[in-house]
Amino acid sequence: MSVATDKRNGGAVRGWLGRQPLPVRLALVALFVVAGYLLPYVGSIPVIGPQIVTQGIDWPSALFNMSYYVLLALGLNVVVGFAGLLDLGYVGFFAVGAYVTALLTSPDSILHTEWAWLASIPIALAVTMLAGVLLGWPTLRLRGDYLAIVTLGFAEIIRIVATSTEVLRGERGFSSIPHPPGQGSDGKPIFGVADATPYFWLGLTVILLVIVGVRNLDRSRVGRSWLAIREDEEAAELMGVRTIKYKLWAFAIGAFIGGLGGIIWAGNQNFINSATFQLQFSILVLAGVVMGGSGNIAGAILGGALISYIPDRLRGIEFGDTDLYEYRFAIFGAAIILIMVLRPQGLIPSRRRAMELKDRQKEVAPQ
C-alpha cells in the first residue's frame, strides 16, 4: 500500500498512535474512555451540545440505543468481518438472548422461575451460544449467497416460533422483566424507567469488555485462522487450518455477543414480544458493519453508532410540515449509498480489506 493511500485510509493516525510510548497510548485510551462515559452530559456544552443531542427522544435513551447497536455490530463483525461468513439472521441471536431472559425472569413465563435479571445471564448466554453452534454446524459447507439464505431462514424460524407458539406468547409477550440490580445512596434503584443513563453506562462497560476480548482473539491463532478462512477456505484447509472448528468458533462468539445485547435490552425494556425481532434489524446491523468498515473493530463501532444515531437524530426535526423521522429509511439509505460510492471499504476500513479492494480495482482496470 502506498503512503498516500495509507494516509487516506486513516493509516496516518494509526501510525502516529503506534509510534507513541506505551504510557502516552494508555493515557489517550483512558481519555477516550472517560469521554465516552461523559457523553450523557454533552448537551450541556454550549453551541456544540445542541447540534449533537437528539430532540424527539431523550439523549440518554438515544445513547443506550447506540450502545446495544454497537454491541451487535461488534458481534456481527466477528462473523462477517473476521471469518467472512455472510450472516443475515443475526437478529435471531439477539432474540434468543432476550427470550431466555424473559422465560427465566418474567411472571408470565410458564417456567414460573422468576429469577433475578443477573441470575438469568449465564443460562441465556449458554443457550445463545448453543444456538450459534446449531446454526453453524449444518452450514459449514456453505458460503456466500447460500449461507446468507440459510441464516435468513434461521431468523425467520425464530420469528415464526416466537409468533405462533404458546410458550413464547406471540404478540402478548412477556411483561415485568426485572431491571438489572443495584441501589443508589438514597435507596432508589439505579436502573429504572425514568433515566436511561445507567443503562448506557452498563452498555458501554460491556462494549469495552467485548472489545478487549475480540481484539485478543483477532490477534491470536483463532484470528489468524479466521483470516485464512475468509481469504480462501480451501487453501486454509489444505494448509492444516481446522476450518470447521474455527467457523463454529465464529458463530458461537458472534451469538454470544448478540445474546448479550438481547439480555441488556430485555432488562431495559421490561417487556418483549414477537413484533420486536424483525428481519430488517439484521439488515440494519449488517449495513452498519459494512458502512463502518468490515473487519475493523473501530469501523464496527462507528457503523453501529451511526445506524442508531441517524434515525434518532431525525426525530422532531421539521421540514415544512413534515417530521423528517418519517423519511428516516430513505435518508439513511441515501447516506449508505453515498458512503459506499465514496468509500467502498467503509468509513474506517481495516488495512487488509483496503488493500484487497485496491488489488481488485487494479484487476478490473489495469494501468
Cell, residue 183: 441501589
How many residues are listed for the chain in this entry?
367
Of the spans 70-79, 87-96, 237-246, which averages the highest pLDDT?
70-79
Q: Identify the pLDDT of residue 328.
A: 79
How many domains, in total, are found in the chain? 1
User: Per residue in 219-238, is it b (16+ CB within 10 Å) or e — as a string?
Assistant: eeebbebbbbbbeebeebee
Cβ pair 260, 199 in contact under 8 A: no
Q: Domain for residue 182, yes or no?
A: yes
* CA distances, 159 to each of 22, 144, 171, 269, 307 (Å): 48, 23, 11, 19, 22
pLDDT exceeding 70 applies to what percent of the chain?
A: 92
Cβ pair 200, 59 in contact under 8 A: no
Q: Domain for residue 10, yes or no?
A: no
- At residue 272, φ and ψ (nearest 5 deg) are -135, 150
Q: Domain for residue 50, yes or no?
A: no
pLDDT digits (tens, 9 = 90+) for 261-297: 999 999 999 999 888 887 778 888 988 998 888 888 9
Does position 70 have pLDDT exceeding 70, yes or no?
Answer: yes
Would the pTM of this model clear 0.85, i.e. be above it? yes
Q: Domain for residue 344, yes or no?
A: no
Does position 1 have pLDDT exceeding 90, yes or no?
Answer: no
> What span, in angstroms and rounded, lies between the C-alpha atoms of 271 and 255?
22
Per-residue H/E/C for 247-261: HHHHHHHHHHHHHHH
Q: Identify the pLDDT of residue 309.
A: 92
At residue 272, the 3 state secondary structure works out as strand
Q: Which amino acid is at 214?
A: V
pLDDT digits (tens, 9 = 90+) for 18-39: 777 888 888 998 999 999 999 9
More confident residue, 234 or 265: 265
The closest of 261, 36, 12 to 128, measured between CA atoms, is 261
pLDDT digits (tens, 9 = 90+) for 47-65: 888 889 988 889 999 999 9
Q: Domain for residue 92, yes or no?
A: yes
Cβ pair 164, 175 in contact under 8 A: no
Q: Domain for residue 140, yes or no?
A: yes
pLDDT digits (tens, 9 = 90+) for 331-366: 878 888 888 888 887 888 777 666 666 666 666 555
Please give the torsion angle defined by the CA atoms of residues 144, 145, 150 and 154, in that order, rounded to the nearest 10 degrees.
90
Q: Identify the pLDDT of residue 353.
A: 65
Q: Domain for residue 334, yes or no?
A: no
Tell me the average pLDDT of the chain: 86
Q: Domain for residue 141, yes or no?
A: yes
Domain of 178 in residue numbering reads as 58-278
Average pLDDT over residues 198-212: 96
